[in-house]
Chain A
Amino acid sequence: GAVVSQHPSWVICKSGTSVKIECRSLDFQATTMFWYRQFPKQSLMLMATSNEGSKATYEQGVEKDKFLINHASLTLSTLTVTSAHPEDSSFYICSARAPMQGLAGALSYNEQFFGPGTRLTVL
């Protein structure tokens, strides 16, 4: 299958600071990436859809000025949590959608692959 990495895997920051999380598709190009957050013992909540070269589409209730998303290349999307507060503490996960023509037939178009997640703690 395809590999998606996230960095950092965990981060602790002080209230009021900004944190950037990177999501990379390592062995395929992803025109679309997704960002989720997950609270303990809950499901994944889609925050935004990121398309390469265009503005992200945010889900209802997600503050676009708070969670800045940039998808500058076909292999990299970043999520910046600006002026983080303790309530922003969560597990953030990205995913990348497989392209039309995958690796040696191993990928199905539209199949999504997830990064390992980033655990953010805001003090």
Chain B
Amino acid sequence: GIQVEQSPPDLILQEGANSTLRCNFSDSVNNLQWFHQNPWGQLINLFYIPSGTKQNGRLSATTVATERYSLLYISSSQTTDSGVYFCAVDDMRFGAGTRLTVKP
């Protein structure tokens, strides 16, 4: 099956900083989504982005399908951005996630 790798595994930022999270996948995909899991366990859809670029407020994402990676950008980070960010591909195979901590 497709392997999904996310980096970095952990990220600590000061409030206001920008960050880039990466998701690499081992084969071509038809579907790719980014999620934020909040402290209560709820997965929140951020982007459905099998290819191209999307933006939503302080967040944006780019998937380069031909090179098998996707990037999630968080600008002007806030403490409420803390949590785990997952990417998932095709039949929702999840990467290990990036644990983000934003300090005030």
A residues lining the B interface (CB < 8 Å): 1, 34, 36, 38, 42-46, 49, 91, 93, 95, 108, 110-114, 116-117, 119
Contact = CB atoms under 8 A, between A and B. Distances in A.
B33 A114 contact: no
A1 B97 CA distance: 23
Contacts of B66: none
A56 to B, nearest CB: 13
Contacts of B88: 44, 112
B104 interface: no
Given A44-B94, A111-B48, A112-B45, 7 more contacts: A34-B92, A42-B96, A43-B86, A45-B94, A95-B43, A111-B31, A119-B41
A108 B46 CA distance: 13
A112 B33 contact: yes
A43 B37 CA distance: 10
A46 B86 contact: no
B20 to A, nearest CB: 20
By DSSP majority rule, is chain A's interface helix, strand, loop, or mixed? strand
A108 B48 contact: yes
A116 B40 contact: yes
A117 B44 CA distance: 12
Nearest to A49: B91
B92 A91 contact: no
A43 B41 CA distance: 11
B84 to A, nearest CB: 9
14 contacts: A34-B91, A42-B96, A44-B92, A44-B94, A46-B91, A46-B92, A93-B41, A95-B92, A108-B48, A110-B48, A111-B45, A116-B40, A116-B42, A119-B41
B80 interface: no
- Most chain B CB atoms below 10 A, which of A34, A42, A91, A108: A108
A36 B93 CA distance: 10
B60 to A, nearest CB: 17
A110 B94 contact: no
A110 B94 CA distance: 15
